[in-house]
Structure 1
Amino acid sequence: MIKVLYHGSCSKSKAILEHLDENNVAFEIIDFIEQPLSPMEIRTLLKKLNAGVQELIRKNDKLYKEKFAAKQHSDEEWINVLSENPSLIQRPILIKGPIAMIGRPVENVRFFIDK
Protein backbone atom coordinates (compact mmCIF):
# COMPACT_ATOMS: atom_id res chain seq x y z
CA MET A 1 0.00 0.00 0.00
CA ILE A 2 1.18 3.51 -0.81
CA LYS A 3 1.12 6.21 1.85
CA VAL A 4 0.39 9.70 0.57
CA LEU A 5 1.58 12.70 2.56
CA TYR A 6 -1.25 15.02 1.71
CA HIS A 7 -2.37 18.61 2.20
CA GLY A 8 -6.13 19.03 1.76
CA SER A 9 -5.96 22.44 0.08
CA CYS A 10 -3.25 21.43 -2.41
CA SER A 11 -4.46 20.81 -5.97
CA LYS A 12 -1.45 18.58 -6.69
CA SER A 13 -2.28 16.40 -3.68
CA LYS A 14 -5.87 16.06 -4.87
CA ALA A 15 -4.69 15.19 -8.38
CA ILE A 16 -2.47 12.41 -7.03
CA LEU A 17 -5.34 10.90 -5.05
CA GLU A 18 -7.54 10.97 -8.16
CA HIS A 19 -4.77 9.32 -10.19
CA LEU A 20 -4.28 6.56 -7.63
CA ASP A 21 -8.05 6.03 -7.40
CA GLU A 22 -8.44 5.85 -11.19
CA ASN A 23 -5.67 3.25 -11.35
CA ASN A 24 -7.08 1.15 -8.50
CA VAL A 25 -3.99 1.66 -6.34
CA ALA A 26 -4.53 1.15 -2.61
CA PHE A 27 -3.37 4.11 -0.59
CA GLU A 28 -3.46 5.60 2.88
CA ILE A 29 -3.76 9.36 3.33
CA ILE A 30 -1.58 11.06 5.91
CA ASP A 31 -2.57 14.71 6.41
CA PHE A 32 0.80 16.04 7.52
CA ILE A 33 -0.66 19.47 8.24
CA GLU A 34 -3.06 18.03 10.82
CA GLN A 35 -0.47 15.50 12.03
CA PRO A 36 2.93 17.16 11.56
CA LEU A 37 5.92 14.91 11.04
CA SER A 38 8.41 14.65 13.87
CA PRO A 39 12.06 15.47 13.19
CA MET A 40 12.79 11.70 13.20
CA GLU A 41 10.02 11.07 10.66
CA ILE A 42 11.43 13.82 8.43
CA ARG A 43 14.92 12.28 8.61
CA THR A 44 13.45 8.90 7.66
CA LEU A 45 11.50 10.49 4.82
CA LEU A 46 14.63 12.18 3.48
CA LYS A 47 16.39 8.80 3.39
CA LYS A 48 13.47 7.25 1.51
CA LEU A 49 13.48 10.17 -0.92
CA ASN A 50 17.26 9.92 -1.26
CA ALA A 51 17.23 13.70 -0.96
CA GLY A 52 18.69 16.52 1.06
CA VAL A 53 16.55 18.68 3.28
CA GLN A 54 16.77 21.60 0.81
CA GLU A 55 14.84 19.53 -1.75
CA LEU A 56 11.98 19.13 0.72
CA ILE A 57 11.47 22.86 1.30
CA ARG A 58 8.78 24.77 -0.62
CA LYS A 59 10.84 27.85 -1.42
CA ASN A 60 7.98 29.58 -3.26
CA ASP A 61 5.81 29.44 -0.14
CA LYS A 62 4.87 32.80 1.37
CA LEU A 63 5.93 31.69 4.86
CA TYR A 64 9.35 30.66 3.56
CA LYS A 65 9.87 33.99 1.81
CA GLU A 66 8.74 36.03 4.80
CA LYS A 67 10.42 34.12 7.63
CA PHE A 68 13.17 31.86 6.36
CA ALA A 69 14.57 32.86 2.97
CA ALA A 70 17.17 35.25 4.35
CA LYS A 71 18.31 32.94 7.15
CA GLN A 72 21.04 30.34 7.14
CA HIS A 73 20.11 27.07 8.86
CA SER A 74 21.92 23.79 9.26
CA ASP A 75 20.18 20.69 7.93
CA GLU A 76 19.16 19.75 11.46
CA GLU A 77 17.71 23.22 12.06
CA TRP A 78 15.76 22.95 8.79
CA ILE A 79 14.37 19.58 9.87
CA ASN A 80 13.08 21.23 13.04
CA VAL A 81 11.65 24.17 11.06
CA LEU A 82 9.80 21.73 8.76
CA SER A 83 8.45 19.79 11.71
CA GLU A 84 7.14 23.01 13.26
CA ASN A 85 5.92 24.46 9.92
CA PRO A 86 4.62 21.52 7.87
CA SER A 87 3.20 23.78 5.17
CA LEU A 88 6.81 24.30 4.03
CA ILE A 89 7.15 20.63 3.03
CA GLN A 90 6.88 19.75 -0.66
CA ARG A 91 3.72 17.87 -1.50
CA PRO A 92 2.34 15.44 -2.22
CA ILE A 93 4.82 12.77 -1.21
CA LEU A 94 4.24 9.10 -1.94
CA ILE A 95 5.86 6.43 0.21
CA LYS A 96 6.07 2.79 -0.80
CA GLY A 97 8.05 0.67 1.64
CA PRO A 98 11.68 1.82 1.63
CA ILE A 99 11.29 4.42 -1.14
CA ALA A 100 9.44 7.70 -1.58
CA MET A 101 8.95 10.37 -4.22
CA ILE A 102 7.58 13.86 -4.49
CA GLY A 103 4.45 13.32 -6.58
CA ARG A 104 5.00 15.91 -9.25
CA PRO A 105 4.36 15.84 -12.04
CA VAL A 106 1.54 13.35 -11.72
CA GLU A 107 2.78 11.50 -14.83
CA ASN A 108 5.87 10.37 -12.92
CA VAL A 109 3.72 8.60 -10.35
CA ARG A 110 2.92 5.83 -12.83
CA PHE A 111 6.55 4.67 -12.76
CA PHE A 112 6.57 4.78 -8.96
CA ILE A 113 3.44 2.69 -8.48
CA ASP A 114 4.79 0.05 -10.86
CA LYS A 115 8.00 -0.47 -8.85
Structure 2
Amino acid sequence: MIKIYHNPRCSKSRQGLAIIEESGKEFTVVKYLDETLDEKELSELITLLNISPIELVRKNEKTWKEDYKGKELSDQEIIKAMVENPKLIERPIVVNNKKAVIGRPPESINDIL
Protein backbone atom coordinates (compact mmCIF):
# COMPACT_ATOMS: atom_id res chain seq x y z
CA MET A 1 0.00 0.00 0.00
CA ILE A 2 1.26 3.46 -0.89
CA LYS A 3 1.34 6.06 1.86
CA ILE A 4 2.02 9.78 1.46
CA TYR A 5 3.03 11.97 4.39
CA HIS A 6 1.35 15.13 3.24
CA ASN A 7 1.05 18.80 4.14
CA PRO A 8 -1.88 20.29 2.18
CA ARG A 9 -0.42 23.79 2.52
CA CYS A 10 2.77 22.80 0.66
CA SER A 11 2.72 23.08 -3.15
CA LYS A 12 5.31 20.29 -3.61
CA SER A 13 3.24 18.03 -1.36
CA ARG A 14 0.09 18.80 -3.38
CA GLN A 15 1.98 18.05 -6.60
CA GLY A 16 3.17 14.76 -5.12
CA LEU A 17 -0.36 13.83 -4.12
CA ALA A 18 -1.55 14.56 -7.67
CA ILE A 19 1.11 12.22 -9.10
CA ILE A 20 -0.09 9.41 -6.85
CA GLU A 21 -3.75 10.10 -7.68
CA GLU A 22 -2.95 10.01 -11.40
CA SER A 23 -1.24 6.63 -10.99
CA GLY A 24 -4.63 5.10 -10.20
CA LYS A 25 -3.06 3.07 -7.38
CA GLU A 26 -4.58 2.72 -3.96
CA PHE A 27 -3.00 4.93 -1.29
CA THR A 28 -3.50 6.51 2.11
CA VAL A 29 -2.75 10.07 3.15
CA VAL A 30 -1.13 10.90 6.47
CA LYS A 31 -1.44 14.58 7.34
CA TYR A 32 1.60 14.46 9.56
CA LEU A 33 1.01 17.91 11.03
CA ASP A 34 -2.31 16.60 12.43
CA GLU A 35 -1.34 12.96 13.01
CA THR A 36 2.11 13.52 14.46
CA LEU A 37 4.72 10.80 14.16
CA ASP A 38 6.48 9.38 17.17
CA GLU A 39 10.24 8.83 17.34
CA LYS A 40 9.95 5.16 16.33
CA GLU A 41 7.82 5.91 13.25
CA LEU A 42 10.10 8.73 12.17
CA SER A 43 13.20 6.58 12.67
CA GLU A 44 11.65 3.85 10.51
CA LEU A 45 10.91 6.38 7.76
CA ILE A 46 14.49 7.65 7.87
CA THR A 47 15.76 4.07 7.56
CA LEU A 48 13.46 3.43 4.56
CA LEU A 49 14.66 6.65 2.95
CA ASN A 50 18.26 5.52 3.54
CA ILE A 51 19.30 8.98 4.75
CA SER A 52 20.57 10.52 7.96
CA PRO A 53 18.07 12.41 10.12
CA ILE A 54 19.57 15.82 9.27
CA GLU A 55 18.78 15.18 5.58
CA LEU A 56 15.06 15.15 6.43
CA VAL A 57 15.14 18.52 8.18
CA ARG A 58 13.76 21.66 6.52
CA LYS A 59 16.69 23.87 7.48
CA ASN A 60 15.05 27.10 6.29
CA GLU A 61 12.18 26.80 8.76
CA LYS A 62 12.13 29.57 11.36
CA THR A 63 12.05 27.01 14.21
CA TRP A 64 15.22 25.31 12.95
CA LYS A 65 17.07 28.58 12.48
CA GLU A 66 16.08 29.94 15.90
CA ASP A 67 16.32 26.82 18.06
CA TYR A 68 18.69 24.30 16.44
CA LYS A 69 20.95 25.79 13.76
CA GLY A 70 24.62 25.71 14.65
CA LYS A 71 24.18 23.30 17.55
CA GLU A 72 25.89 19.92 17.75
CA LEU A 73 22.93 17.53 17.77
CA SER A 74 22.94 13.74 17.79
CA ASP A 75 20.74 11.87 15.31
CA GLN A 76 18.34 11.10 18.16
CA GLU A 77 18.15 14.78 19.14
CA ILE A 78 17.40 15.72 15.52
CA ILE A 79 14.62 13.10 15.37
CA LYS A 80 13.22 14.40 18.64
CA ALA A 81 13.25 17.97 17.26
CA MET A 82 11.24 16.82 14.22
CA VAL A 83 8.75 14.93 16.40
CA GLU A 84 8.25 18.01 18.57
CA ASN A 85 8.13 20.34 15.53
CA PRO A 86 6.67 18.37 12.59
CA LYS A 87 6.96 21.43 10.33
CA LEU A 88 10.68 20.64 10.27
CA ILE A 89 10.05 17.41 8.34
CA GLU A 90 10.76 17.62 4.62
CA ARG A 91 7.72 16.82 2.49
CA PRO A 92 6.13 15.00 0.91
CA ILE A 93 7.41 11.57 1.87
CA VAL A 94 5.99 8.66 -0.09
CA VAL A 95 6.31 5.03 1.00
CA ASN A 96 5.51 2.06 -1.22
CA ASN A 97 6.13 -1.25 0.53
CA LYS A 98 9.80 -1.19 1.56
CA LYS A 99 10.74 1.80 -0.60
CA ALA A 100 10.47 5.47 0.29
CA VAL A 101 11.32 8.77 -1.34
CA ILE A 102 11.12 12.45 -0.51
CA GLY A 103 9.04 14.03 -3.26
CA ARG A 104 11.47 16.82 -4.13
CA PRO A 105 11.18 17.13 -6.99
CA PRO A 106 7.68 15.61 -7.01
CA GLU A 107 8.52 13.57 -10.12
CA SER A 108 10.89 11.44 -8.02
CA ILE A 109 7.76 9.78 -6.61
CA ASN A 110 7.39 7.95 -9.93
CA ASP A 111 10.55 5.98 -9.06
CA ILE A 112 8.69 3.94 -6.43
CA LEU A 113 5.15 3.74 -7.88
Q: TM-score, normalised on structure 2?
A: 0.94
Q: What CA RMSD, in Å, does the superposition of the two structures yield over aligned residues?
A: 1.1
Partner SS state of residue 34, structure 2 = coil
Map 1:24-103 onto structure 2 (within 5 A): 24-103=24-103
Name structure 1 gaps, 5 residues minimum.
none
Q: How far did residue 23 of structure 1 move?
A: 2.2
Letter in 2 for 1:65: K
Letter in 1 for 2:69: A
State the distance in 2 between where 1:98 and 1:20 align.
17
Q: How far did residue 92 of structure 1 move?
A: 0.1
Count of residues in correspondence between the two structures: 113
- Deviation per residue, 1:24-73 (Å, 9 max, x gap): 12210001100111001111111101110011100111211121113221
Q: TM-score, normalised on structure 1?
A: 0.92
State the distance in 2 between where 1:33 and 1:108 align.
22
State the distance in 2 between where 1:12 and 1:81 align.
22
Name structure 2 gaps, 5 residues minimum.
none
Letter in 2 for 1:16: G
| Runs of 4+, deviation exceeding 6 Å | none
Residue of structure 2 equivalent to 1:18: 18
Partner SS state of residue 3, structure 2 = strand
Partner SS state of residue 73, structure 1 = coil
Percent sequence identity over aligned pairs: 37
